[in-house]
Amino acid sequence: MGDARKQTVGDIGFGRMFPIVRIFDEAKAREFYVDFLGFGVDWEHRFGDNFPLYMQVSRAGMGLHLSGHHGDATPGSNIFVTMHGVHAYQQELATKDYRFMKPGVEELPWGNVMEVTDPFGNRIRLCEQKDGD
């Protein structure tokens, strides 16, 4: 597949995509996305003191919106992301002291895939596609 940023038709083009992921526990979400996966917190929003968190995290061009709001997203969702350096990322995660997950890389016909599952059942499949895909 080509670079999605270059795929335009006439005046139509798409920017970055930010999937919304449902979370239920802020501490567990931070432990997984920030401490384990290495994302940075870009911003946080609440409508008031006793309202759910909505925040954006990102790393190396990939962004996610994490939401504690009912109705924003369905728990147990699956996100497929293409990337390069999946083996290096897997090795980085293997050095972390995160007792709930030790992901590996699976070689599949379309590429090398590492799957991680957050504490809320959401899965992210990180795929380093083979040349020509």
Q: Tell me if 7 is assigned to some domain.
A: no
Instruction: Find the mean pLDDT for residues 41-61.
Output: 97
CATH code at position 85? 3.10.180.10
pTM for this entry: 0.89
**pLDDT for res 109:** 95
Query: In sequence order, which residues have a C-beta less than 8 Å from that of residue 119 and are 6 or more positions away?
Result: 25, 28, 29, 31, 32, 100
Q: How many domains does the chain have?
A: 1
**Beta-strand pair 20-22/62-67:** parallel
SS3 category, 26: helix
Q: Tell me if 2 is assigned to some domain.
A: no
What is the pLDDT confidence band of residue 1, given thresholds at 50, 70 and 90? Answer: very low
- Does position 133 have pLDDT exceeding 80, yes or no? no
Q: Tell me if 3 is assigned to some domain.
A: no
Q: Tell me if 100 is assigned to some domain.
A: yes
Q: With beta carbons less than 8 A apart as the criterion, state whether 89 and 114 touch.
A: yes
Q: Tell me if 9 is assigned to some domain.
A: no
Instruction: Provide the domain limits for residue 86.
Output: 15-129
Q: Tell me if 57 is assigned to some domain.
A: yes
pLDDT digits (tens, 9 = 90+) for 64-75: 999 999 999 999
Please classify residue 65 by burial: count the beta carbons closer than 10 Å to its beta carbon, then call 0-12 exposed, 13-18 middle and 19+ buried: middle
Instruction: Find the mean pLDDT for residues 104-132.
Output: 95
**pLDDT for res 8:** 67
Q: Tell me if 31 is assigned to some domain.
A: yes
Using CA atoms, how far apart are residues 130 and 122, in angstroms rounded to an integer?
25
pLDDT digits (tens, 9 = 90+) for 6-28: 566 788 988 899 999 999 999 99
Could you say which DSSP state residue 132 is in? T
**pLDDT for res 41:** 99
Q: Tell me if 5 is assigned to some domain.
A: no
Token readout for 89 is 């990322």
